[in-house]
Amino acid sequence: MFRIILIFLFVIFVNMSEGVFAFDIVYPKKDNVTINADKTFFIGNEQICKSLKINGQPVILHQSGGFKHTVHLDYGVNSFVIDNGADKKVYKIVRPAKSVKTAKERKFIHYGSEKIIKTSSQNVPLRSSPVDAGLNRLQHLQKDIELVAIGEYGDFYKVRLGRDDTAWISKSNTQISDSKEFVLGVIKSTSSYEDDDFRYYKFTVDKKVPYVLSESGLNGYNLVLYNMSDELYNFGKYEFNISQKGKNFGYSAYYNDENELIVKIRKYKSSLKGLKIVIDPGHGGSERGAIGCLCDAEKDVNLAIALKLRNKLQKLGAEVLLTRADDKYLGLQERVNFTNENNAQMFVSIHNNALADSQADKEAKGTEVYYFYSQSRYLAKVISKMLSSEIGFNNRGAKGGSFAVIRNSECPAVLIEVGFMIDPDENSKLINSDFQEKIADGIIKGIEKYFKEVDMEIILGK
């Protein structure tokens, strides 16, 4: 018996010497990092002593042991002593000195003689402002579409559309055209046809002109062809309205090999039963995503939720496809291609949230759902509402966001940030299997509400 106790004590001693008193710092990832912000946070867990101080300030510990503690950063080297009474670590964080901006001042240059340019790659964004960020994309254009540049600002050409409209296009996505003279377009014929999933509108134009296809209200679309003959079309624009039965449910426009512009409108599918839905667990493989207080990786939490969501949706009669069903790396374009090649009718990406250092003092709690096209706004709104109420998280609501996975899908597409991995309380719930079942239930309630409610509610903005 005595020998057993001795062995037991020895085992305890060995464990203690391996750092029983230590705490985990999940973020910053290591000592001696450079953070270019006036604040950051320490995220991690303390399991043993249940008391922790950073530079003498008590750290609030969640019952799971997780913590998130915001600290201010001065320029230069900042030292932080992390102390749980038994073990101590010193972290150094460097905040670089204020950089002196040497960027040359940019101004708009108006060309004396206009340049004929053309798109030099596929999927070139035509933008409403000369900025490569945000929600300023008007349309993605294919290769070899001619445009007239009337000036430049930084890395962008300002292009003329029709007689009075203008837009911006990145110089790096274009080249100077061989054409000596800019020729305006004329429509030769139009036609329409349909199959089970789509209605198609075909416009035979004598050259590839720029166009913008957008949603007009909630049940329809507006196509504008630009740089058309101003003798035949007012202001050099040809406009075409398309009505939709039911909610707007996905659209695209492209030139086919015969240079005909095809507008493809997905028919509205009014129920979950038989719906072909792609569930996309964010990140995977080498890309871990956010790291939670207790060291869990976002990629694993996303996948666990996605698998539970798949099982429940299948039981309700939906046809579910997963972009990944295991822990592997997948690029953003691969996820988009998978969705469009499988002709999915809905796309739902599952993520969990974190904050940037510069936002370390902001509240990091709650559910938010992102959309890019207005057709997806209502879906985002009801998922955020139903999911947050199902799991008891704050509803941060639907937000517009220019994320690659939701702006290139030909169907309603949303990206869900269920909760914050860096919040100790939300994190402890997000990694819980029973809680993940509730998350899946909440998402489904949102999708069901989307199908159930009439469009009137969207108009009233309820």
Residues serving a catalytic function are 417
Give least dist CB 326 to Zn ion, A.
17
Give least dist CB 439 to Zn ion, A.
15
Print the binding letters for residues 382-421 with Zn ion: x by CB under 5 A, - otherwise.
Answer: ----------------------------------------
- CA dihedral angle for residue 375, residue 377, residue 379, residue 385, rounded to 10 degrees: -170
What are the residues whose beta carbons fall under 8 Å from the beta carbon of 175, sequence distance 6 or more?
117, 118, 120
CA-to-CA distance for 45 and 291, rounded, in angstroms?
Answer: 12
Q: What SS3 class is residue 308? A: helix
Angle at 266 between CA 260 and CA 271, to 5 degrees: 170
Angle at 54 between CA 53 and CA 56, to 5 degrees: 70
Which one, 289 or 446, has the nearer CB to Zn ion? 289
How many residues lie near Zn ion (CB under 5 A)? 3
Give least dist CB 339 to Zn ion, A.
17
Q: What SS3 class is residue 83? A: strand
Give the interface segment with Zn ion, choosing from 24-32, 110-118, 170-178, 344-352 (CB under 5 A): 344-352
Given a contact cutoff of 8 angstroms between Cβ atoms, the answer to whether 225 and 231 are in contact is no
335 binds Zn ion (CB under 5 A): no
446 binds Zn ion (CB under 5 A): no
Which one, 146 or 368, has the nearer CB to Zn ion? 368
CB neighbour burial string for 73-96, b if at least 16 within 10 angstroms, e if fewer: beeeebebebbbeebeeebebebe
Which one, 12 or 404, has the nearer CB to Zn ion? 404
- Closest residue to Zn ion, judged by C-beta, is 351
Q: What SS3 class is residue 403? A: coil
289 binds Zn ion (CB under 5 A): yes
Give the interface segment with Zn ion, choosing from 74-82, 159-167, 258-266, 288-296 (CB under 5 A): 288-296
Looking from the CA of 327 toward its CB, the CA atoms found within 13 Å total: 11
Which one, 130 or 282, has the nearer CB to Zn ion? 282
Give the interface segment with Zn ion, choosing from 172-180, 275-283, 329-337, 378-386 (CB under 5 A): 275-283
Which one, 316 or 322, has the nearer CB to Zn ion? 322
Backbone φ and ψ for 195, nearest 5 degrees, come out as -130, -165
Print the binding letters for residues 348-387 with Zn ion: x by CB under 5 A, - otherwise.
Answer: ---x------------------------------------
Give the interface segment with Zn ion, choosing from 29-37, 137-145, 201-209, 278-286 (CB under 5 A): 278-286
CA-to-CA distance for 371 and 283, rounded, in angstroms?
Answer: 18
- Identify the CA nearest to 309 among candidates 318, 298, 296: 318
282 binds Zn ion (CB under 5 A): yes
Which one, 35 or 415, has the nearer CB to Zn ion? 415
Q: 205 vs 219, 227, 255, 304, CA distance in Å? A: 26, 11, 10, 49
Give the interface segment with Zn ion, choosing from 198-206, 209-217, 280-288, 447-455 (CB under 5 A): 280-288
Give least dist CB 306 to Zn ion, A.
12
- Which stretches of the chain bind Zn ion, using CB under 5 A? 282, 289, 351
